[in-house]
């Protein structure tokens, strides 16, 4: 046998051993392919069922997703509407806050002005209160003074009533005396001597002078004891003492009389208001 033949024999033996090993392995690992296939078909059927269920679940999920999406869109739209409404409310509230702030500023300014006015009014009220107190005090003083004056008025009224009655009596007496004088055929003007003797001690001033400087009104009258026919002297003390003349009483009232110059005044001097008339040449003290 040649060398090549030997190699071939060795290769054939090796192949045989290899084939034997493979056959042994195949035989040891061989199974029931039909049962296996049936089992696999069962598995495939089960997987298809699961797939079908999964597809159904997917479709249901898609429907649920679509529903949820629609609900989400509706909810989103509702939320958007609420957001828009809230934004509108916010803008309106901001506007109201702005207006309120402006109104508050105006109110604050008004309050400050009112406070200033109130303070000014308070000061004015205090001043008026002080003035009122002073006026009330003065009014009380006036009331006291008025009471005193009322008492004085009542006293003067009583005195006036008494003087009026006295003057009435004196007029009646003068009228009767005048009638007696006329019946006796005597002049109504008393003689200087008699008039001077009968005049009471009186003193007054000339209050008015007539245009001819002949008749004068004096500040004493019947209440002072003067009567028609009494004679008085006229003189002045300023700027120097000087005798002016004599006058006779021609009419009387309770507090005034009218006199007429007897003859002429000394050196024809003018009698003036303020000159003194008296029943004596010297004024009473």
pLDDT tens digits along 94-117: 889 888 889 888 988 888 888 898
Residue pair 243/233 in contact (Cβ under 8 Å)? The answer is yes
Side-chain-side CA neighbours of residue 117 (13 Å): 6
What pLDDT shows up at residue 108?
85
* Topology of the domain covering 190-278: Thrombin, subunit H (2.40.10)
> How far is Cα of residue 114 from the mean position of the Cα atoms in its chain?
9
**pLDDT for residue 257:** 95
The pLDDT tens digits for 53-84 are: 878 887 887 888 888 888 888 888 988 898 99
231 is written with which tokens?
A: 């004679």
**Paired tokens of 285:** 């003290």
d(CA 10, CA 32): 36
Mean pLDDT of the chain: 81
Of 199, 206, 186, nearest to 259 (Cα)?
206
User: For the segment 172-192, what is each residue's pLDDT rounded down to a tens digit?
Assistant: 655 655 554 455 444 444 444
**Strand 231-236, strand 276-278: pairing:** antiparallel
pLDDT at 193 exceeding the cut of 50: no
Average pLDDT over residues 215-220: 95
Q: Which of 159-168, 222-231, 240-249 bottoms out in mean pLDDT, i.e. has the lowest?
A: 159-168
Domain locations in the chain as residue ranges: 190-278
Check residue 283 and give its pLDDT. Answer: 40
> Does the pLDDT at position 134 exceed 60?
yes
Distance from C-alpha of 43 to C-alpha of 272, rounded to nearest angstrom: 166
- In whole angstroms, what is the distance from residue 277 CA to residue 285 CA? 14
pLDDT at residue 40, as a whole number: 78
At residue 226, the 3 state secondary structure works out as coil
Per-residue model confidence (pLDDT) at position 192: 40
Would you say residue 231 has pLDDT above 50? yes
What is the rounded distance in angstroms from the CA atom of residue 99 to the CA atom of residue 171? 95
Q: Confidence class of residue 285 from pLDDT cuts 50, 70 and 90?
A: very low
């Amino acid at each position: 046998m040649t060398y090549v033949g030997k190699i071939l024999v060795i290769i054939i033996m090796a192949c045989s051993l290899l084939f034997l090993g493979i056959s042994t392995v195949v035989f040891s690992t061989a199974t029931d392919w039909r049962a296996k296939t049936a089992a696999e078909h069962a598995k495939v059927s089960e997987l298809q069922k699961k797939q079908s269920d999964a597809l159904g679940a997917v479709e249901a999920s898609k429907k649920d997703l679509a529903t949820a999406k629609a609900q989400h869109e509706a909810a989103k739209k509702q939320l958007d509407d609420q957001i828009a409404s809230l934004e509108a409310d916010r803008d309106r509230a901001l506007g109201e806050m702005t207006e309120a702030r402006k109104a508050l500023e105006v109110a604050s300014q008004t309050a400050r002005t009112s406070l200033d006015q109130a303070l000014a009014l308070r000061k004015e009220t205090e001043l008026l209160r002080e003035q009122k107190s002073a006026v009330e005090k003065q009014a009380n003083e006036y009331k006291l003074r008025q009471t005193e004056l009322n008492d004085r008025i009542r006293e003067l009224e009583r005195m006036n009533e008494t003087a009026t009655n006295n003057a009435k009596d004196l007029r009646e007496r003068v009228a009767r005396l005048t009638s007696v004088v006329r019946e006796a055929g005597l002049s109504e003007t008393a003689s200087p001597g008699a008039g001077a003797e009968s005049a009471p001690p009186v003193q007054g001033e000339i209050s008015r002078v007539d245009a001819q400087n002949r008749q004068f009104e004096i500040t004493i009258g019947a209440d002072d004891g003067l009567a028609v026919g009494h004679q008085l002297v006229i003189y002045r003390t300023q700027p120097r003492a000087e005798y002016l003349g004599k006058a006779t009483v021609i009419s009387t009232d309770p507090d005034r009389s009218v006199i007429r110059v007897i003859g002429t005044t000394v050196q024809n001097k003018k009698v003036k208001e303020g000159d003194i008339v008296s029943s004596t040449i010297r004024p009473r003290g």
